[in-house]
Amino acid sequence: MNYIKIVKRPNIENDKKSLVNYQNFENLLSELEQKEMPSGINNFINQEIEAINSFSGTNAELSKKIRKTLSGILKHVEKDLKLVPKNYYRGLWLALGMSAFGIPIGFAIALSLGNIAFLGTGFPIGMGIGVAVGTAMDKKAMNTGKQLDFEMKY
């Protein structure tokens, strides 16, 4: 399905951050147009585009609005269709690995050595575990066709 086109402001090229967010949004829309979507999601996306097109704030406010809308659309698509962008699970599991694995491992190392200063040694171990799990899940999503050819750029 073709979505409503997002209106490009004439002075958006002057603001690099707004331009990057605008291009991210266009890239996501072009990728979603290639996928088969239910009409409810298409209507949701068109409503979000209309909200951006009718937004009358500054470029900085528009940039925030675009990022918020982009995140909302990605969450909606992930929740309903299980479609995720590239490296979605890697980023998610990086944080989970540090907290779920890194803190207990660091605590065990610190207790075994008798020095609480070694508590932080578990964080890189947990980060490595999280990145490995997330990368494996990203590969699985790619192999099953549940990964969008889109990656967030900041």
CB 138 within 8 A of CB 86: yes
Q: Closest Cα partner for 83 from 132, 126, 45, 131?
A: 45
Q: What is the pLDDT of residues 56-77, one digit of tens each?
A: 888 888 889 999 999 999 999 9
Please give the Cα distance from 140 to 99 (Å, whole number).
Answer: 23
Give the Å distances, CA to CA, from 83 to 39, 56, 79, 140, 146.
16, 31, 8, 12, 5
The answer, yes or no, to whether residue 83 has pLDDT greater than 70, is yes
Q: What is the pLDDT of residues 29-57, one digit of tens each?
A: 999 998 888 889 999 999 999 999 898 88
Supply the pTM of this predicted model. 0.83
Identify the band that residue 14 occupies on the pLDDT scale cut at 50, 70 and 90.
confident
Q: Would the CA dihedral through 92, 96, 98, 99 be positive or negative?
A: positive
